[in-house]
Structure 1
Amino acid sequence: MPVPVPTAVLNAAGQLRRIWWKVRRPTTYGVKALLIHPLDPSQCLVVQHSYVDRGWWGLPGGGYHPRRETAEAAAIREVAEELALTISECPVVLDTVTSRLEGKVDNLTIVVARPTSEAFQLSAELAQARWTSADPAAFPSDARVSRWLRRALEANQQMNQT
């Protein structure tokens, strides 16, 4: 079992990374996973991170190296690390976004997946998580919901309508 990393260390590492990005301007690859409840497809799992965007509901995920793993494999790994959940079927790509914010080139892949269980365990990276409606209209307009969560919910809804 991995040793938990203190929140203060995660905060400091995040600040140092942002400074390094402004100097180096790297290309990064990340993945976010929209997790659909294994027994109720109208529910999804939302998380609040402990070290960045605290107070915002978002999706589990993280960085990966495309030479070492695919976005889908990275999503499976990140979900296991952050929530101790297993995904047995290959995630489906909902969207891929490239941005140039924060002085770097970010490539983000958003996937949808269904874990084998609804029971999760939070890692130190997450402050909280909960199952909630997967309908983007169910979130109040003033809710602190990340743009990636809204985008994932809308893409998933469109995919299910076709």
Structure 2
Amino acid sequence: MSVLSGKIRAVIFGVAVLLLIGKMWTESFYMRIIPAEIGISYPVARGGVSGFREGCGAAVYRIDPGTAQGIAQHGLNYFPATSHSRKSADPYYTFDAWRPTPDAALVNDDQTLLSPGLECAELDMHLQEQIETASRNTGSFYTHGPEKVLIVIPELQLVVLAYNG
């Protein structure tokens, strides 16, 4: 009986370790897409839907105090003209010039900068509403990359990566 229970415990432990490694790899994957000039303290929320090659969703991180202070002091000038992710300088991981919110093309639209990635993520409704409100008002900054959008929301001390593709 004790040999069997020891094996069961070992299997459960092994599965738990594999799940933890998978979660850490996934978190690292999304964090490395965000450019290095955006310091990240910790993950806040993440969600989405993935297929074999495509997916949509969002990852939300708390920005570190140095980033928040730099943005408060320099505003849009804090951000470089173009950004590369921590992951790679490959064009797929390059972002356009940063711009202040709101995006004029979406002011009277029911969509936001982060659609459809944010809706696909199914985050906490209160958090999602805060992010959508920030994207429709002044005070935040955003940039586009292939199949993704980043928005930095200084007021909430958040950076949001929304992706679709």
TM-score grouping bracket, smaller chain normalisation = 0.3 to 0.5
TM-score w.r.t. length of structure 2:
0.34
TM-score w.r.t. length of structure 1:
0.34
Which structure has the higher relative contact order (CA within 8 Å, separation 6+)?
A: 1
